[in-house]
Amino acid sequence: MGYIRQAVISLRDVRFEYAHGGFSLDVAELTVASGTRAAAIGPSGSGKTTLLNLISGIERPGSGEVSTAGVRVDRLSPAARRSFRITTVGFVFQEFLLLEYLDVLDNILYPYRLHPELRLDASVRSRARGLASDLGLAGLLDRRPSELSQGERQRVAIARALVTEPGLILADEPTGNLDPATKQQALDLLFEQCEARSTTLLMVTHDHGLLDQFAQIVDLEALGPAEA
């Protein structure tokens, strides 16, 4: 699969319900244009993470259409969804989810070790080092995550999300564990990198204070009722 420079998120009449019941997500319609910096907001339990899972193909809807970067993700097989995900989507998590036993460089390059679709070669390593340098991590490549500050760890997570040159970054509360000063710094870096690559960003947050930095706000409560 080639690089997707123009990414689009489109959900239509999507209904998702966990097998054990208790939670469901209804999305009548949601569209995010490519290159947009969008935020999804909603209280805890409103389905923010589920939305990201549906868009990335981690979960499949019970009904409806999920289209990401022009691909009907809801129709793909699990293997195809994995393949699609690793080449098209970059993830940034609230808990960073770095691997303690890998150094910074190896953490950045981690996606390349997970799927045969991605070949780890010299150009990739060079790209990873460049990303690290852009994110101020150049002198920390041989450090372990436990030797880094919270902010540095989040930057490593951002670098890992961008290393595969995805068309879409899904960030799940990426600044949730950062202090206010570091939070903004991390956001600025994320925005800067996405803009530089024309990468679409959909960030899930519950922090209303950040919303004015986004071009599009998706209110999960307005998408459809969340049934307890």
Partner 1 sequence: MKDSIYLAWRYLRHHRAKTLLLVLSLSVFLGLPLIMRAMSRATQRSLLDRAEATPLLLGKKGSSLDLVVEALYFQLKGAEAITEADVDAIQATGLALGIPVRTGLMARGFPLVGTSLDYFPFRNLRIAEGRGLAMMGECVLGAEAAETLGLGPGDALLTSPSTLFDLAGVYPLKLNVVGVLEPSYGPDDEAVFVDVKTAWVAEGKGHGHQDLARAGPDVVLKRKEGTVTANAKLVQYNEITESNVGSFHFHGDPSSYPVSAAIVVPHDEKSGVLLRGRFVDAPTRQLVRPAQVVDSLNKQIFRFERVLEIIVWTVGLATAVMFVLVMVLSWRLRAEELRTMTRLGGSRWKAAQIMGSEIALMVGASVLIAGVFGIVMAQYGETWLQNLILRGS
State the residues that interact with partner 1 by CB under 8 A. Answer: 56, 58, 79, 82-83, 85-87, 91, 93, 97, 99-102, 106, 110-115, 120
We find the least distance from the C-beta atom of residue 225 to partner 1, in angstroms, to be 27
Q: Which is nearer to partner 1, 58 or 178 (CB)?
A: 58
- The amino acid at residue 43 is P
Nearest-10 Cα torsion for 132, 133, 139, 142: 30
We find the least distance from the C-beta atom of residue 181 to partner 1, in angstroms, to be 27
CA-angle at 31, arms to 27 and 33, nearest 5°:
160
We find the least distance from the C-beta atom of residue 101 to partner 1, in angstroms, to be 3
Q: CA-CA distances (angstroms) from residue 66 to 18, 62, 116, 121, 223?
A: 17, 11, 25, 33, 14
Q: Which is nearer to partner 1, 2 or 101 (CB)?
A: 101
We find the least distance from the C-beta atom of residue 211 to partner 1, in angstroms, to be 25
Q: Which is nearer to partner 1, 102 or 217 (CB)?
A: 102
Strands 71-72 and 63-68: antiparallel
Q: CA-CA distances (angstroms) from residue 39 to 10, 29, 124?
A: 15, 16, 30
Q: Which is nearer to partner 1, 13 or 95 (CB)?
A: 95
